Amino acid sequence: MTVGVEEEFVLVDPLSGATSTAAPRVLELLADEPGVMAEFLRFQLETVTGICHSLAEVREDLTRLRRRVAWAARRTGCAALATAVAPFEITPLVTADPRYRALAARFPGLVGDAGTCACHVHVGVPSRAAGVRVLAWLRPWLGTLLAISANSPYTGGADSGRASARYPLWSRWPTARPPSAWGGVAEYDAAVGEAIRSGAALDARSVYFYARLSSRHPTVEVRIADVCLDVDDAVLLAGLVRALVVTALAEDRRGVEPPRVPDAVVEGSLHAASRHGLGVPGAADLLTHLRPALRATGDLDEVMAGWHALEARGGGADRQRALRAASASPSEFVESLAAVTRVEDRERKPVR
């Protein structure tokens, strides 16, 4: 089962922490790197791994891309941060791309809050029909995936009181909602088509279900997660999402029906994860649920090591709060976040 990961980053001034609209200059320095591209606002960048067959490949690609983005950002006088919301003042200048300009014209009231950063995990599926069935199996676990990745406690220079301030901001988009338990491809396509016809989405790419069929790749794309603070957490997330898809496909082959979880329950778990991060229950249940699939993919040791490390050091939001408490100024906080982002703070030591 192939897997790929997209990560989004914010660019900030290293002294004030305010966002820096330097993305076009950073991209010029990285013109030879197809895995780095523009995002909606000019203080954002996105990286995209190759099609990976192992978590070791995912780690290698994520590490290389983070280091390249960090290098180019420093060359332009800014810092790249793996945080799902810019922690200080933002300048919401839209990237000069026709599609982004059209999105901004369609949804002008959302532009100011649009600069959030996610981690999207793609997993290959054998068909679109299988992918639609996988989406129904993913619904109960979306809150757990958000809790594991929650990494945006600060916004506007203040603590939001949430582990993921990104979630309520991103959820303002009209189509940002959990996937339904659609009966098949026709129902899924009808939901996407209705979103476009009604004006709730510009095109299929801007139908922002928390998990969806990719409109460009033969994959299920899980979009609920905050961008992770460090590579270890992103690799853990990729392993968990791949195992969820493997488990769903195996259950589907056996003729097992996905659990019927009401929308209110799914949304309640997401709100709790946004508020409390790792403080919500469910992660241990997820690991138990996925153990057979993790063995089948060969990811069990890597995922368990990543999970124990996450438990020991805390989630992204906890670590951000600790880093800020230890910083005497915004510039010290920015440098601390930048060091973790560029995979510079420590060598990874797997936890047994």
pLDDT tens digits for 72-105? 999 999 999 999 999 999 999 999 999 999 999 9
As to burial, measured by CB atoms within 10 angstroms (0-12 exposed, 13-18 middle, 19+ buried), residue 126 is: exposed
Using 50, 70 and 90 to split pLDDT, how confident is the model at 347? very low
**pLDDT greater than 70 at residue 265:** yes
Average pLDDT, the chain: 95
Q: Where residue 197 sits, what CATH number does that domain have?
A: 3.30.590.20
Helix (H) or strand (E) segment spanning residue 6 = strand 3-12
pLDDT of residue 284: 85
C-alpha closest to that of 278 among 157, 120, 153: 153
Residue 107's domain comprises: 3-341
SS3 319: helix
User: Does 352 map to a domain?
Assistant: no
CB atoms within 10 A of CB 31: 8
Q: Which residues contact 299 (CB under 8 A, 6 or more apart)?
A: 55, 239, 242, 243
pLDDT of residue 61: 98
DSSP per-residue codes, 157-202: TEE-SSSBSHHHHHTTSTT-SPPP--SSHHHHHHHHHHHHHTTS-S
User: Does 206 map to a domain?
Assistant: yes
Using 50, 70 and 90 to split pLDDT, how confident is the model at 261? very high
User: Does 98 map to a domain?
Assistant: yes
User: Does 348 map to a domain?
Assistant: no
Question: Which residue bears the tokens 């928390």?
Answer: 210
Question: Cα–Cα distance between 175 and 209 in angstroms, integer?
Answer: 6
Q: Are 341 and 14 in contact (CB under 8 A)?
A: no
Long-range CB pairs of 304-308 (<8 Å, 24+ gap) are: 305/350, 305/351, 305/352, 306/232, 306/233, 306/235, 306/236, 306/239, 307/236, 307/283, 308/351, 308/352
Number of domains the chain contains: 1
User: Does 172 map to a domain?
Assistant: yes
CB atoms within 10 A of CB 63: 17
User: Does 349 map to a domain?
Assistant: no
| pTM of the predicted protein model | 0.95
SS3 328: coil
pLDDT of residue 350: 34
